[in-house]
Amino acid sequence: MCGIHAIVTHDGIPPLSDSLRRCLANRGPDHLGQVETGVNSRQGPRLSLAFTSTVLALRGDRVTPQPFHDAATGSVLCWNGEAWKFAGQDVQGNDGEAVFARLLAAAGDADGEAVVEVLRCIDGPFAFIFFDKPSLRLFYGRDRLGRRSLLVNRDSGFVLSSVAETASPSWLEVEADAIYVLNLASEGDGRGVFMAPSQRPWMTDQAADMILNIGQLNIATPSETLPPLESTSPVVHQLCEELTASMRMRVLGIPTPPRPEGDSDDTRLAILFSGGLDCTVLARLASELLPPDQGIDLLNVAFENPRVARHRGSHETTSIYEACPDRITGRKAFEELSAVCPSRKWRFVAVDVPYTETLAHRSQVISLMHPHNTEMDLSIAYALYFASRGMGIAQDRPSDEPRAYSTPARVLLSGLGADELFGGYSRHLAAFERSGYPGLVDEIKLDVSRLGKRNLGRDDRVMAHWGREVRFPYLDERFVRWAMETPIWEKCDFQYPETESRVEPGKRILRLLAEELGMRSVAREKKRAIQFGSRTAKMESGRTKGTNLLVP
């Protein structure tokens, strides 16, 4: 994880503001580096370029400084992400160095297509800025799913950044639908106005039914009544294998985080943990993969919601935090994990957020999530911001005495993506009831195709602020492709409703896997949005709409 920033101007390079430098450094606390250069365009004045990168070191055996700079050619790379695979092969060592080496080998070609081809071969979450100085081209973009943040501002010069410097409407999210190329050789008309960048598609084979530039959705529907999914169905075993492969890249090899001298606790991984199905399956599989001496922190956030507090009866003895829906399910899942994996050092971290603290951080959260600016954006961002901070009251076992704690983990796991891939939303059931399997396929196709348009850039800006990297096992390219190719009835068979002996049909394949892993209670947990489970939604008025724009 890194913070990246680049500026191209006709008028000299302004210094980074203190607030922007601080936000970039929060994303990458291990190193801050800068490279400045200049180019002569075909017309007008000389262009000045400056590149800034901050580094959170999670790959390789040392801190690798950025920006990457090749003295021979003058080319520069700002890399924010994880290249797990290159052309299907695992990337060893520092991935940024590996990507830069390949980009340098491809740089300088006549049309820039060789550089684009290098980027197309990368599997993993990333945002990047690459200046190919020999060809005077600036390449930039986000991965196909948009899992890392990158913003653009063309109001004064041409600026790219992981976070916005101000709350100006000029800041826009770089779309994840293409690789962008700015030809600096054509710039410099003296007016200080930059041309619009060209776009290079992620895939050269643009099939009409290609989704996310990753694969094709299986739109087949059953021609006859099929038996219900069972835990013994082969596809459940396939799900376990595919999800484990995605997890293996994301949880193994995490370096030991900085810790106080004499502290022997080896906890490198934390889960954004509501106690729901998606995140608890990740926790359970992580326990299968990690060495037995490594702990796993379960970060469970709950808020003091003044609207809810006003309606609590005087006879209620449970704290407002312990009464939050996600706190209840979180503790329940913690107990089940402790029983199923008793030798694992679990740590349940109750992150309680008083309303006064929510208000104290409001301007910071709004600044980080910009250019998103609705009430729903804020309620979701609050939950992710405080959960990823990882400060709260911890217990190693459900019966232990709570103690103050701050997680040292620099890698967090999120269960995002499972609902879209496996039919976990109530609208999927509604689509099936309205139009059968064809309607369900259409609804799943719509949700999956919008994954790249989701607010992952917003979430990245909010969570990376604490010097932690969030990883999404359900959004691994290979896993997404497998899930899309799996027949719809093998993921959510709504023709067989929930019974006493049968889990509900939404995400049934994942629920059956949870049962196979020994978590029968978790397998029956209902879907609940984070803003309602943690009670960040409608904190003042029940009439507030999520689409309302924020009042400054």
Active site members: 2
Query: Residue 249, Cβ neighbours under 10 Å: how many?
Result: 19
Q: Which of 375, 383, 345 lies closest to 551 in space, CA to CA?
A: 375
Q: Please, what is the Cα angle at 151 between 145 and 157, to 5 degrees?
A: 145
Are the CB atoms for 476 and 246 separated by under 8 Å?
A: yes
Q: Rounded distance, CA 5 to CA 279, Å?
A: 32
Tokens of 533: 């489970």
Helix axis angle for 375-389 and 362-369, nearest 10°, is 110
Residue the block writes with tokens 């995400």: 507
Beta strands in 229-308 (DSSP E): 267-272, 295-303
Q: How far apart are CA 313 and CA 394, in angstroms?
A: 28
- What is the DSSP secondary structure assignment for residue 276, as one 8-state letter? S
Q: Three-state SS across 126-159?
A: EEEEEEEHHHCEEEEEECCCCCCCCEEECCCCEE
Query: First and final CA of the chain: distance in angstroms?
Result: 30
C-alpha dist (Å) from residue 353 to 22, 35, 358, 470? 24, 40, 7, 21
Estimate to the nearest angstrom the gap between the alpha carbon of 416 and the chain centroid: 8
Give the residue from 272, 176, 213, 179 showing the smallest Cα distance to 471.
272
CA distance 47 to 395: 56
d(CA 334, CA 345): 11
Distance CA 515, CA 522 (A): 8
CA 237 – CA 67 distance, rounded (Å): 43
Which pairing describes strands 151-153 and 158-161: parallel, antiparallel, or unpaired? antiparallel
HEC string for 513-539: HHHHCCCCCHHHCCCCCHHHHCCCCCC
What is the DSSP-derived secondary structure letter of residue 393?
E
Q: How far is 145 from 475, CA to CA, in rounded Å?
A: 8
